[in-house]
Amino acid sequence: MIIVKLQGGLGNQMFQYAIGKKLSLLNKTELKLDLSFLLDRTPRPNFTYRDYNLNIFNLKIEFATQEEIKPFINYLDSKIKRKIYTYLFLGKKNKYINEKKCNFNPDIFKLTGNIYLDGYWQTEKYFNDIKNILYNDFIVKTNQDQKNQDVAKTIKNTNSVSIHIRRGDYIDNKQIYHFHGICDLNYYYNCVNLLLKKLKNPNFFIFSDDHQWMKENLKLDYPMTFVDHNDASKNYEDLRLMSQCKHNIIANSSFSWWGAWLNQNPDKIVYAPQKWFNDTSKKTQDLIPDQWIRV
């Protein structure tokens, strides 16, 4: 059995599901999701609580019970116990795997038995060889409404480029801001200028969690569509529209990472920020696919 701890927003949950799916196929065993962290509303300073978001997809999901989680969690009430447990049980039936670094760890593929994964796993190297399965798994199960269909039609009929600007809790929460940082306007203008050397007549589709700011500050001499009609409860509609664009300029956000990754245009151009975290101790060389361009 593979159990994956879900944490973070939609994009992070997609990463966690993806590695779990890969390991379940590799080991020919069932995948179950642990929602306990998402459901826990214990007060935490400088913390953004998240809900379970994968229900927007037409997935056959099984959720881990407390009895199934217990053999792992009982050992995990301190960092020292986690280290001892991981060491003692490395070659045994139950394995608790805590992601130590941001970069790809190929030893994950050697794991067998019952596995509990605790981490973010933000690299396609864990699941790129099952991308066709994930393309199908990450199809939004509801049809686009008329407004989103109209935007999708324009996306299909133009040299469409998505631009995602992430602000929200990256700005409002000081601790999150110091850890993540934001992509400034210079980053977006640099990406656009690079794109103009490769693409004629672009049509930009702007996505953000701060619509007012982007309308006041982002100025381009090309057609711009501000996609501001989907509220937070329908963020998956923005994700779907970004994936339908022919090219993508993403923020340092797992949400727009997936918007670009799910774009199946074989000739897509994707620009991503060179600096993903303010915290330079986080190594992100494996986070951005090799075909994408870091700016």
Q: Where are the domains of the chain?
A: 2-132, 144-294
Q: Which of 13-22, 61-70, 169-178 has the lowest mean pLDDT?
A: 169-178
pLDDT above 80: residue 168: no
pLDDT above 60: residue 174: no
Six token digits for residue 134: 């994930």
- Cα 54 from Cα 69, distance rounded (Å): 20
Predicted pLDDT of residue 90: 44
Q: Could you read off the pLDDT of 199-218 as tens digits, one per residue?
A: 999 999 999 988 888 888 99
Read off the pLDDT of each residue in 243-257 and give the average, rounded to a whole number: 96
Predicted pLDDT of residue 80: 53
What type of residue is 245? C
Q: Which residue has the higher pLDDT, 43 or 120?
A: 120
pLDDT above 60: residue 91: no
> Using 50, 70 and 90 to split pLDDT, how confident is the model at 253?
very high
Q: Could you read off the pLDDT of 126-141 as tens digits, one per residue?
A: 999 999 999 999 999 9
Strand order in 270-272's β-sheet?
Answer: 224-226, 202-208, 159-165, 247-249, 270-272, 293-294
pLDDT above 60: residue 171: no
Q: Could you read off the pLDDT of 255-280 as tens digits, one per residue?
A: 999 999 999 999 999 999 998 877 67
pLDDT above 80: residue 160: yes
Q: Could you read off the pLDDT of 21-62 as tens digits, one per residue?
A: 999 999 999 999 999 999 988 888 777 889 999 999 989 999
Instruction: Please indicate, yes or no, whether the overall pTM of this predicted structure exceeds 0.85.
Output: yes
Six token digits for residue 44: 């935490």
pLDDT above 60: residue 69: yes
Could you give the percent of the chain with pLDDT greater than 70? 87
The CATH number of 144-294, from 3.40.50, 1.20.144, 1.10.150, 3.30.450, is 3.40.50
pLDDT above 60: residue 84: no
pLDDT above 70: residue 2: yes
pLDDT above 80: residue 16: yes
Predicted pLDDT of residue 42: 86
Instruction: Print burial letters for 135-153: b (CB count within 10 Å at least 16), e (below 16).
Output: eebbeeeeeeeeebeebbe
Work out the mean pLDDT of the chain and round it to a whole number: 88
pLDDT above 90: residue 102: no
Question: Sign of the C-alpha dihedral, residues 176, 38, 136, 108?
Answer: positive
Q: Could you read off the pLDDT of 140-154 as tens digits, one per residue?
A: 999 999 999 999 999
